[in-house]
């Protein structure tokens, strides 16, 4: 079988189908804390449209200005990237789905290590609109010229509190404004619960030479004994300064408009295809997604693909795990989904999902052209019980090589690729 070929950009229809998503996995490397490389294939498609400053819009409404840096043929999100990752607790095991909107503007969906979209911090603040000067070329450098800036999270500058999202096995982040004013590295302070009980804890610098910190020693005991909820945002209020600093964490309540509520319901999840024949026949839905929406699912799911096709995939409940099952093989073969691919699903309600498919280069695939006379797949399965499930995690497969089997009937010409591109 021949590998999938790239799409030809020779018609308006093909231009419309131009794939604008790319996926990035955060690996256990300190490099990802300060910069993130954009996939080569995405740069090949859109590099000539990018300026040295990009705008990244997050589902919580915050808008971030992140500068680009070109090093050789590689292009990175760099200046302000560290502040962005700290604000959303992005670390090893996280995934980010970027969608290019044109004119150096991106939307992003953030997934935690359980493969489910995070619950975004709530904020009533102004989004970060600080932006370095705009020029026509990305500045070339071999060094990280990241600079401190006033991030979207100015929450603690004039108020004696800060907010942090509790992530299992991660220490809470304390923004520099609050930390520099009230805390000192390795000097004990106390966390107090709503009953007045106190736990001694310590802070450590997030990075040498900067004032941002993380609450480290003693925090896990406090979290465990007070049943802090994973992936929930807490507001740490200063209630006493002398003789010792005392903070009281309170869980933030999600209030506001229906749009705000939907943002915090976080309806996306992602799956990485691993080197197993198991994924050719079925794929497991993450536990955390099922905890949120399992009681809404029927025995058949409707999956809508960007090419306009609609697929009906059976759901199977097996020992408290739930899988996309019947018709999954046909679906995966049609789109050449195999080892190294990623899929991001968005739940639309009533057992309906939309999906974006990424190949082994972490860039959205070019979908097969749809025949005007083609009927959508409406094959239904026997009725069964309502589905309920639990969790699964995926391993990062960012640099894995794909065998690239093609689907059986679509023929495409190879798109010409130029080694040199401009910005």
Kindly state the percentage of the chain with pLDDT values over 70.
Answer: 68
Rounded Cα–Cα distance for residues 367 and 309 (Å): 10
Answer yes or no: is pLDDT of 253 > 70: no
Contact call for residues 115 and 138 (beta carbons, < 8 A):
no
Please enumerate in sequence order all residues whose Cβ is within 8 A of that of 373, keeping only pairs 6 or more positions apart, or say none: none
pLDDT grade, residue 371 (50/70/90)? low
Rounded Cα–Cα distance for residues 153 and 47 (Å): 30
Please enumerate in sequence order all residues whose Cβ is within 8 A of that of 384, keeping only pairs 6 or more positions apart, or say none: 299, 317
Give the model confidence (pLDDT) of 233-245 as tens digits: 677 888 888 888 8
Rounded Cα–Cα distance for residues 170 and 54 (Å): 28
Rounded Cα–Cα distance for residues 369 and 412 (Å): 9
Give the pLDDT confidence score for residue 207 in this predicted structure.
76
Q: Which of 229, 230, 349, 354 is nearest to 295 (CA)?
A: 349
Rounded Cα–Cα distance for residues 35 and 203 (Å): 25
Answer yes or no: is pLDDT of 376 > 70: no
Q: What is the CATH topology of the domain spanning 161-251?
A: At1g16640 B3 domain (2.40.330)
Domain chopping of the chain, boundaries? 161-251
Contact call for residues 311 and 362 (beta carbons, < 8 A):
no
More confident residue, 409 or 110: 110
Give the model confidence (pLDDT) of 305-349 as tens digits: 999 999 999 999 888 789 999 999 999 999 999 888 999 999 999
**Bond from prior residue into 243 cis (ω within 30 degrees of 0):** yes
Give the model confidence (pLDDT) of 205-238 as tens digits: 877 777 888 899 999 899 888 888 766 667 788 8
Give the model confidence (pLDDT) of 391-414 as tens digits: 333 433 334 333 333 333 332 333
Give the pLDDT confidence score for residue 374 in this predicted structure.
57
Contact call for residues 98 and 21 (beta carbons, < 8 A):
yes
């Amino acid at each position: 079988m021949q590998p999938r070929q790239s799409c030809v950009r020779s018609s308006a229809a093909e231009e419309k189908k131009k794939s604008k998503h790319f996926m990035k996995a955060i690996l256990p490397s300190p490099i990802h804390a300060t910069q993130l490389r954009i996939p080569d294939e995405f740069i090949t498609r859109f590099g000539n449209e990018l300026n040295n400053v990009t705008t990244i819009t997050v589902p919580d409404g915050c808008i971030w200005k992140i500068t680009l840096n070109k090093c050789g043929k590689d292009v990175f999100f760099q200046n302000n990237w560290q502040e962005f990752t700290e604000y959303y607790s992005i670390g090893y095991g996280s995934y980010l789905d970027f969608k290019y909107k044109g004119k150096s503007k991106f939307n992003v969906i953030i997934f935690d290590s359980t493969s489910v979209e995070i619950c975004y911090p709530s904020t009533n603040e102004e989004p970060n609109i600080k932006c370095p000067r705009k020029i026509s070329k990305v500045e070339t450098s071999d060094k990280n010229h990241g600079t401190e800036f006033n991030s979207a999270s100015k929450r603690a500058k004039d108020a004696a509190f800060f907010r942090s999202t509790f992530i299992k096995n991660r220490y809470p982040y304390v923004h520099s404004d609050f930390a520099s004013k009230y805390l000192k590295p390795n000097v004990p302070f106390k966390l107090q619960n709503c009953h007045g009980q106190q736990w001694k804890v310590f802070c450590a610098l997030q990075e040498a030479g900067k004032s941002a910190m993380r609450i480290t020693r003693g925090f896990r005991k406090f979290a465990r004994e007070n049943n802090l909820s994973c992936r929930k945002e807490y507001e740490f209020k200063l209630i006493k300064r002398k003789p010792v600093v005392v903070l009281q964490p309170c869980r933030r309540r999600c209030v506001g408009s229906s749009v705000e509520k939907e943002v915090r319901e976080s309806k996306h999840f992602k799956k990485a295809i691993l080197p197993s024949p198991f994924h050719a026949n079925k794929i497991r839905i993450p536990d955390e997604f099922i905890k949120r929406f399992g009681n809404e699912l029927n025995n058949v799911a409707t999956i809508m693909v960007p090419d306009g096709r609609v697929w009906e995939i059976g759901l199977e409940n097996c020992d408290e795990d739930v899988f996309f099952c019947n018709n999954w093989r046909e679906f995966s073969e049609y789109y050449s989904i195999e080892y190294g691919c990623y899929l991001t699903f968005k739940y639309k309600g009533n057992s309906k999902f939309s999906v974006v498919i990424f190949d082994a280069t972490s860039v959205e695939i070019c979908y097969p052209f749809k025949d005007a006379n083609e009927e959508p797949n409406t094959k239904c399965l026997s009725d069964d019980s309502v589905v309920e499930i639990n969790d699964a995690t995926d391993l990062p497969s960012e640099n894995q090589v794909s065998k690239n089997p093609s689907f059986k009937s679509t023929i495409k010409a190879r798109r010409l690729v130029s080694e040199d591109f401009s910005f």
